[in-house]
Amino acid sequence: MNVARQAWDVAGYVWTHPANRRSRVRSLARAVRFQVRGRLGGRTLTPVGEHARMWAQLHHTAASKVVYSNPPDWNGMQAWRRILRPGDLFIDVGSNVGSYALWAADGGAEVVAIEPSPGTADRLEENVRLNTLPITVLRCGLAAEPGRMTLTRGKDATNHLLLEPGAAGDEIEVRTLDEVLGDRTAIGVKVDVEGAERFVLDGGVRALAERRIRVLQLEWNLMSEQVFGDSREPVAAILGHHGYRLTRPDQQGILRPAIVDPAGGGSDVFAVAPGYSPPGHG
C-alpha cells in the first residue's frame, strides 16, 4: 500500500470513529503527529481510557489504533465498561501490547494479561510498568493441554499457533484456561488468538461447566478456517453445550441477542453464561 493511500485510510478511520466524534480535527492532528514521529523512528505515549497510558509505535497495529481512537474497539470496549466493576477479574487472552488489559484495569478490574509472543510480551510488560494498575502478565499461550507449541514470528497482531511438527517460529509455553483461572470466577474473558479460540475453550471446560466465566468475548472471523481448517462451528458447539447465549454489543455497549453464522464472519461475539445478567444491560 503506498503512503498516500495509507494516509487516506487512516484519516477516514479517525474521522469516522465514534471515539472521535466530538474532536475530529484534534484527533486527525494527533494522528498526523504520530505518523510523522513514527516515520522519524520515534514512539508516542498515548492514553488508554481515563488514566492509563501506553507506548505506541508506527506499524504496530494494536497500539496504533489506540492513538487513532480511544478506545479503539468501540462497541466491545464500551460493553466491558458496562459489565466490569471494581475488583472483578478479567482475563485477556492474546493481550498483544495491552490495550484491552489497560482499558479493563483503568475501569477498576483485576487483570491477567496473557501474551505468548516474546517481543510483544516485552512491550506489554513495558506498558504495564508505565501504570500502577492491578495487571499480571503471563508469557504463555493457552491450549487444550499444557505443554509446548510453536508460534509464528514477525506477524505483529496476527501471530498464531502452528500445528505442523518442526514448523519454524518461537517455541512457547502453553497452559490451560482452567489452570490459569483455578477456582476463581472471571467476570470477563477476552479471547483474541487468531483462530485458536477452540483450543482455549477446550482448556477451560471445567470453568465453563461451572459457569465461572460470566462473559466471553471472541473474535468471529475466518482465521480459524484459514489457519486450522475449522469453521466456528466447534466454538459455537462448546458454548451451546454449556448454555452460553451469543450476543453482540451495539454502539452503546449493550449486548444484543445475535444470530451468529458458525461459518465465521462478522464482529466479535460476546457469549453470556446462563442465568447471568450483565450489569448495565437492562
Per-residue pLDDT at 191 exceeds 60: yes
Question: For position 7, what pLDDT does the model report?
Answer: 84
CA angle 55, 58, 62 (to 5 degrees): 65
Residues 197-227: pLDDT tens digits? 999 999 999 999 999 999 999 999 989 999 8
Q: State the maximum Cα–Cα separation within the chain, in Å, rounded to a whole number.
A: 53
Per-residue pLDDT at 1 exceeds 60: no
Tell me the pLDDT band of 272, cut-offs 50, 70 and 90: very high
Q: Are strands 186-191 and 213-218 parallel, antiparallel or unpaired?
A: parallel
What residues form DSSP beta bridges with 229? Answer: none
Question: For position 212, what pLDDT does the model report?
Answer: 98
Residue corresponding to grid cell 462478522: 266
Q: Which residue would you say has higher pLDDT here, 145 or 155?
A: 145
> Domain 73-272 is classified in which CATH homologous superfamily?
Vaccinia Virus protein VP39 (3.40.50.150)
Per-residue pLDDT at 282 exceeds 90: no
Average pLDDT taken over every residue of the chain: 94
Per-residue pLDDT at 167 exceeds 60: yes
Q: Are 139 and 162 in contact (CB under 8 A)?
A: no
Question: What residue ranges of the chain are covered by domains with CATH 3.40.50.150?
Answer: 73-272
Residue corresponding to grid cell 482448556: 203
Q: Which residue would you say has higher pLDDT here, 74 or 279?
A: 74
User: What would the grid cell of residue 127 be?
Assistant: 506498558
pLDDT average, residue stretch 172-178: 97
Residues 94-103: pLDDT tens digits? 999 999 999 9
Question: For position 281, what pLDDT does the model report?
Answer: 67
